[in-house]
Chains A and B, each alone.
Chain A
């Protein structure tokens, strides 16, 4: 049987335009990355950024620039890009797992679980002078990331167990909120026994920041996130099949339990590691995958995984750039910015797509 030429052309056009969209988004992320290095209390001409990065800085350059970029801004920009991408992918996979467009690291209480894990490490390691994200060594930071991922994974496993007994969106979200409160209370108790300085730093941490990661800790963050992505495995089509429901996916030969385990492990590591380093970043994990679905008009994970990751990095970089834009060199907190900027953008995307179209 012959393939209809019209349909084939349509396929190719759709695939080509998606590829172009991905490439455009990637290019945009590169530009924003450079811009993120340029803005701040000391403004550096964006055109000097490539030279500063790739080491061919001429004598005419301000020597302070390479220090500012290398020590402060580069790790911050890397953190924003990687953290944004990781939260977006974590959110995407949770939405796939729960077949629920409102699932995400923060709405399911997973961010809170990660915070508890991180909080316990800080309290236990709590030498009198050590601030929440202050003077931990490489090992300490790895422990922090691990504890955070464990906390996230524990909450995720609990919610998954409950969600099998209670079907439906509402009960799942209520469960997430309750688990979030529970984790939050443990955190409050931890904070209650912490010193005032720690409380101060903790409150700063809850605003979310990409600036707390120094260059020496970048390998832990990036390594953790790469591990999270790698846990997803090589075959995104397995995630597509989950749209049919657990039994539906099994009926076409998927090992649903294995796929589910992979998703839980990956989402927990990604959300846990990023939360440990950047604080509980809200909104990105839900909004970026939603935006990617509408932007790419696709539910296929081979499109959505790179699409969400790029869109997550994009949102995080924009938020970080805008956080530097306040007068007087004060960096604004990331979390409120993300919500203030992103919510209207997503809302407009949602409103512009067909009202009869799919919700997720």
Chain B
């Protein structure tokens, strides 16, 4: 089912035509044809300042658009008054506000305002829905806490609960992860995907590339040159659209790893990394990349070889004083053209020292103590 549909949409800011200057609209996007169906998690992805908020505000009726049409559940958005709109579309905004003495329950109960069951105070049905919404975002125990005393992540979850309490088919969020730390960002993405799986159409804007590619059903990618590119996240990676939109002079998108990487700095050293300890291997690779070394074989072969073979028994049982005992792994370290490989327990810090030696000395490193 189509929840929101935009046709030939042009968004931006109408000129005020002041001072006798020519009236010229500032167009942010033009010629957009967009569709939000139910059961879909759509992420509007773009760098900061690329016009995401303008588009979100236009699509949710908070800002007039320049031309074209927007329909919500088959009705032109301009025909809906604020209450009718609030029954169809719930909005989570970035603007911060001082909630005074309102507690978490009160804030979520605001989501019940447009409903008939809410007179001057929430009725029994409203109270039930408020508590369900709080439970859905994992904030059931926070009901009596003052909203003003919550952390940024907790606030954002409560605001999402408020939007859920609005019980609308459409959920639109403007940068809900902007002020959050990494775990809270992931949590918000998971939460919204779950809402989409339960049948809602969810549209959120963000500049979080990693999470968007991993969680979204569809990405609307803001590209400064080409406007809005729409497609499944995997396709946008393969077509190079993500890279085209985000690459800067210092960072480029690596389609293989799905991460942004800095171009490797010369001098170029290459390190062969292998092993059967998957986690240890993955982070050893990260270490090699961080030091600006290549994992591909160079013209003269590898400058060093690492083989990661797994954790020592001692570190596995030292779980409770992990701080005192750094993680050690059995690593084979070999430098071609020198004495045979050395296999012993290394911490990654020691491996890093070794790699730095390799990088600076051009492959004739000693193995240290």
| Interface contact A7-B120, CB-CB below 8 Å | no
| Interface contact B149-A293, CB-CB below 8 Å | no
Q: Is B131 an interface residue (CB 8 A)?
A: yes
Chain B contributes a number of interface residues (CB within 8 A of A) equal to 40
A22 to B114, CA, bound (A): 29
Q: Is A1 an interface residue (CB 8 A)?
A: yes
Write the nearest CB–CB distance from A346 to chain B, whole angstroms: 16
Chain B residues closer than 8 Å to A253, beta-carbon distance: 82-87, 113-114
| Interface contact A251-B99, CB-CB below 8 Å | no
| Interface contact B62-A1, CB-CB below 8 Å | no
A299 to B62, CA, bound (A): 26
| Interface contact A99-B98, CB-CB below 8 Å | yes
Q: Is A10 an interface residue (CB 8 A)?
A: yes
A7 to B128, CA, bound (A): 12
Write the nearest CB–CB distance from B126 to chain A, whole angstroms: 12
Query: Which one of B97, B114, B118, B143 contacts A99 once the chains associate, using CB atoms below 8 Å?
Result: B97
| Interface contact A250-B82, CB-CB below 8 Å | yes
Binds A, one of B65-73, B100-108, B295-303: B100-108
Q: Mark A267-299, 1 if CB is under 8 A from B, else 0.
A: 000000000000000000000000001000111
Residue of B nearest to A356 (CB): B149
A247 to B120, CA, bound (A): 21
Query: Considering residues A10, A250, A293, which has the most beta carbons from chain B within 10 angstroms of its beta carbon?
Result: A250
Binds A, one of B25-33, B88-96, B220-228: B88-96
Q: Is A245 an interface residue (CB 8 A)?
A: yes
Q: Is B250 an interface residue (CB 8 A)?
A: no
A236 to B102, CA, bound (A): 15
| Interface contact A244-B97, CB-CB below 8 Å | yes
Q: Is A321 an interface residue (CB 8 A)?
A: no
Could you say which interface size class chain A belongs to?
20 to 34
Query: Which one of A241, A256, A302, A358 contacts B110 once the chains associate, using CB atoms below 8 Å?
Result: A241
Residue of B nearest to A296 (CB): B101
| Interface contact B62-A358, CB-CB below 8 Å | no
Q: Mark B290-329, 1 if CB is under 8 A from A, else 0.
A: 0000000000000000000000000000000000000000
Q: Mark B50-64, 1 if CB is under 8 A from A, else 0.
A: 000000010010100
Residue of A nearest to B148 (CB): A358
Write the nearest CB–CB distance from A169 to chain B, whole angstroms: 11
List residues 78-127 of chain A with CB under 8 A from any CB of chain B.
Answer: 99
Q: Is B244 an interface residue (CB 8 A)?
A: no
Chain B residues closer than 8 Å to A7, beta-carbon distance: 143-144
Chain A residues closer than 8 Å to B98, beta-carbon distance: 99, 243, 358-360
A293 to B99, CA, bound (A): 12
A4 to B121, CA, bound (A): 18
| Interface contact A293-B100, CB-CB below 8 Å | yes
Q: Is B111 an interface residue (CB 8 A)?
A: yes
| Interface contact B101-A299, CB-CB below 8 Å | yes
Chain A residues closer than 8 Å to B110, beta-carbon distance: 240-241, 244, 252
